[in-house]
Structure 1
């Protein structure tokens, strides 16, 4: 390939603000497409909307790593119908406005399919953007019920939804003997939806919700909230948002003398929750997606991931890997890159075997069966319950 052509590719990617998977990015960092071979004209372009910057960037990078492993394996076996896969990152930063801009750029880049999606608030506003172009979207992590409710027809979810997670939460609360539960969220699509659905389900089961509080993302001082929660004698607090702020709340709850159970949703299912909360995090319960460490089928994947990236795969790595492989399977069954054909192939998926189990979609294009597990922080690590 000529140097002139490489310069043209580099300039084009800079203008689009996209990064080819594997390059990584920072908010003001220059793009470096030379870190991975440029796409050939016949390659199949797949977009990856992920948070590569912002407070949830750890998840975004972890999912990108897993997707890249799947792509490398697929391409090593000859690709899809003789064509290689090329992935293009769209950094949504878990922000609705940035997600919308990233989605439009991915469409302009000519992607034929989308896999990824971590934050529900960044996924929901992009659904119609992809659907208008008949671009199939496999959502690998985001799970607000708003996704299914607003699904225009092209989107399939392979993570358990808020409905699935709520069922698991209520089951856990009962097991822990809780009667008075306090809910804490951050007002975004994901945490608000999970909190509201849990409140309804818990009350419907004849139990009490003593408070439902909304904090601000990035909040540093939870002292007033801690005092309020203690005064209401909540025997269990359920944090439904993400790990960074969740870890700080846990520390301040324990420092403030709260003795009850603390449960966090899957948005906090990350080893950094343990690192950031320190000793205060001991005993915390975590609703989690199917983590590689606890999946017999994922051992080879986990070993390969650690060998390649020198770290343990995160909570959503198996689902990210599965999502890419499922999209590749749908592309093969569709016999090409026609969007409508791929969407139909996804709809027809039955018992696709991934690391996290078998995938068959319900009528609303979510999983037929929940895949959530419960972990607890014990001895500075997650332990399956």
Structure 2
């Protein structure tokens, strides 16, 4: 049995009185909300997020849940639409969930954050990377937590990689969503910190099918690398466009370059692309091997976006561990927030060992040392450097 499951089992067995108090109807479930894009243009990473959550909940419930109470997921599909995401958040809050896991799209998350903050309902974000997600509210007051590397960490890491490889003329291609807007700003700021400016900038809406003119302008500006910040098939449009032009420059970007939209949509045009990752699907230790085998066994396939599944799996356990820090069974928003910020026991997770992952001053569980540069090879993402593969054998804790 996994270490996390053993720890949960001990706590569950410590409260046999609860099931008796509930009578023959059984214990009252703990309702946990889930919101994300499970259909529509972002489902390729929304579904792995949901699957990671479900896998964790199945394991937690198998050993007794929270003090004998099973976790019950209330799932809402935001379809990657900000208006629908806000409606989904309102629906979850009306159903009296104790906390919420979710959001893959930064623009969708930003549209709904105020609802969680005002209702004092903790939200843990496993996917959306926009820096503003956890900086919109002052940290000590914020009910918004995240288990993902924010763009303000991803962009500087990739800019350092660009400089390391001798590329000094950067073209930025970013969509006009909240995600693209925030990412564009983070890349520009990261370049400025190294006394660089982009030689070309292209902004475009989601759904664009042809960026040939913009790519030609970037090439004419002397760009020797393309930094793309978009969430969907537009990444493949860029890769396929430069291939059609015979322009052999490397495409780099955030974790979205690990999505099927890019890997399958660009195929050989994606080869060599560099992407920032929190998790690469290789069984480098017992915990990661257990997660990957458990996911494949449950869903009969590997996760389409391993990061989304692993981040969400860990986020679910962190929420559960916050519940375990509340011994009186009163799972109010402020009590969960207080537990997340310092009362939890360490959790041996997939991405890392979480020992005080959050605090009153810091709502992001992932720090820069935990990020990895991945490279697309043969249609999948692997380590860009052999030394990173070796470093990954040692769990990188929060700094």
User: What TM-score comes out, normalization by structure 1 length?
Assistant: 0.86
Deviates most, 232-241 or 248-257: 248-257
Q: What SS does the corresponding residue of 2:325 show, helix, strand or coil?
A: helix
1:347 counterpart = 2:341: yes
Matched, 1:383 2:382: yes
Aligned twin of 1:136? 122
CA shift in 2, pair 1:351/1:202, >3 Å: farther
**Per-residue deviation, residues 248-306 of structure 1 (Å, max 9, x unmatched):** 22111111122111112112322442211022111111222323326523111101111
The answer to whether 1:357 aligns with 2:352 is: yes
In the alignment, structure 1 residue 76 sits paired with structure 2 residue 75: no
8 Å contact 2:177–2:205 — kept in the other structure? Answer: no
8 Å Cα contact 2:126-2:148 kept in structure 1: yes
For residues 268 and 275 of structure 1, the distance between their equivalents in structure 2, rounded to whole angstroms, comes to 11
Counterpart among 277, 289, 303 of residue 299 in structure 1: 289
Rounded Cα–Cα distance in structure 1 between residues aligned with 2:379 and 2:124 = 34
Q: Is the Cα contact below 8 Å between 2:44 and 2:260 reproduced in 1? A: no
Question: 1:322 — aligned with what?
Answer: 314
Secondary structure of the residue aligned to 1:132 is helix
Q: CA deviation at 1:326?
A: 0.5
Equivalenced residues, count: 347
Q: Supply the distance in 2 between the matched residues of 1:383 and 1:368 (Cα, whole angstroms).
A: 20
Partner of 2:201: helix, strand, or coil?
Answer: strand
> Does structure 1 retain, via aligned residues, the 8 Å contact 2:252–2:273?
yes
Query: Per the alignment, do residues 324 and 149 of structure 1 end up closer, same or farther by CA in structure 2, a change over 3 Å counting?
Result: same
Task: Provide closer, same or farther for how the CA distance between residues 209 and 278 of structure 1 changes in structure 2, counting only shifts above 3 A.
Answer: same
Contact persistence 1:185–1:214 (CA under 8 A): yes
Matches within 5 A, 1:259-274: 259-274=248-263
Partner Cα separation in structure 1 for residue 284 and residue 51 of structure 2: 18
Determine helix, strand or coil for the equivalent of 2:376. Answer: strand
* 1:302/1:216 CA distance change after superposition, 3 Å: same
> How much does 1:381 deviate?
2.5
Counterpart in 1 of 2:190? Answer: 201
Q: 1: CA distance between counterparts of 2:263 and 2:34? A: 28
Moved more, 360-369 or 140-149: 360-369
**Distance across 2 between alignment mates of 1:368 and 1:265:** 15
1:277, 1:40 → 2: CA distance? 52
What TM-score do the two structures reach when normalised by structure 2? 0.83
Q: Is the 8 A contact 2:206 2:232 kept in 1?
A: no
Partner of 1:242: 231
**CA–CA distance in 1 between the matches of 2:134 and 2:189?**
19
Q: Which moved further from structure 2: 128-137 or 289-298?
A: 289-298
Q: Which residues of 2 match residues 210-289 of structure 1 at below 5 A?
A: 210-289=199-278
Q: Relative to 1, partners in 2 of residues 1:128 and 1:208: Cα closer, same or farther, differing over 3 Å?
A: closer
Is the deviation greater in 352-361 or in 249-258?
352-361
1:46 corresponds to 2:43: no
Residues 295 and 355, structure 1, Cα contact 8 Å, conserved in 2? no
Q: Which runs of 5+ in 1 are unaligned?
A: 1-38
Moved more, 356-365 or 276-285: 356-365
Q: Deviation per CA, 1:136-182, whole angstroms, max 9, x where unpaired?
A: 11111112111122135111111111111022111211122110001
